[in-house]
Amino acid sequence: MKTITLDSNVIEAIAAHYDEALRLIERRFHVKLAARGNEVTVSPGGNGAESRVADVAQLLGELAGLKESGVPLGREDLKTAVELKHHEPDACLEDHFVTARIETSGSKAVVPKTTNQRLYIEAMRQNDLVFGIGPAGTGKTYLAVAMAVALLDQGRVKRIILARPAVEAGERLGFLPGDLAAKVDPYLRPLYDALYDMLDPQRAERLMEQGTIEVAPLAFMRGRTLDNAFMILDEAQNATSEQMKMFLTRIGFGSKAVATGDVTQIDLPAQKVSGLVEAADVVSGIRGIRVVEFNDKDVVRHPLVQRIILAYERLENERVSGEDDASTPESK
């Protein structure tokens, strides 16, 4: 059992979600919490939770430190802090909420929810070319757009280029109604969604009308060299080897580029090599380039998404195992 005294400012900051936060801590760490005034008593809740009492004490202490640093502790911030310390007891909350925090000119501030997300943000700050590779829902594109908007607000880049390869995943573009713009717009919609979450829609529309922000199919970038720009290639696993080389060689002076994708969801024809898979291997050793890999533990969408990803991973492993068994001499 351990009793922690919380600063009144901390309690005031989380007052609206105080009970909810304490109950979440109890569920995640399997402890019992008793709050009286500004004192919280932590005791084991069974299932060998004695070792987690110290983790909870550290969590509460770090929350107090964040408040002293001027970090607002809203509902989502508290959830992020609890989940982070639950999965990674050695994680430092200050690294996530202060050092790695992405601030934009609007009210939106983005905090990495996992260690790999923090490493990804650090990589984008420190390198001119970053590859973010991993399953859906890990924040690859969202964090890249947030970083692009933040650097635009700071005047460190003058343009944002958001691109996607318009690859057919089961449907045929030629049979879709409308002109070329209407045909490719559905492929670009996820980029618009991330952009509108970072910027006021009116400002976003104005910046796109001015050409400061451009959302376009990857093919539209051919023949251009982009200085002082933040370039994002989303769904990069569906870029061919030639397209990826084209994208990477568009980087001009003062520019940054991020390529994101999930190598388990390649929609290219079987005879085509994924440019993302190839590039991550070819250029990973070059100074100024960083490859960050995400996994199912980094999924920050609905909890079902993580379970779905794991289910498909098991299915794929079973298929591979079955193919290996079929190829052995004993099976023939």
Average pLDDT, the chain: 83
The token duo for 96 is 């996530």
For residue 193, pLDDT over 60 is answered with yes
pLDDT, position 170: 42
Structure confidence by residue, pLDDT tens digits, 214-264: 988 888 888 888 899 999 999 999 999 999 999 999 999 999 999 999 998
Q: What contacts 275, CB < 8 A, 6 or more positions away? A: 236, 239, 240, 241, 242, 243, 244, 245, 247
Structure confidence by residue, pLDDT tens digits, 24-33: 888 888 888 7
pLDDT, position 169: 43
pLDDT, position 78: 85
- Whether the full predicted model's pTM is greater than 0.75, yes or no, is yes
Give the integer Cα–Cα distance in Å for 49 and 17: 24
| Range in 77-81, 90-94, 204-208 the model is least confident about | 77-81
- The mean per-residue pLDDT over the stretch 155-169 comes to 83
pLDDT, position 158: 96
For residue 137, how many other CB atoms are within 10 A of its CB? 19
Which pLDDT band, with edges at 50, 70 and 90, does 306 fall under?
A: low
For residue 183, pLDDT over 80 is answered with no
The token duo for 62 is 């770090």
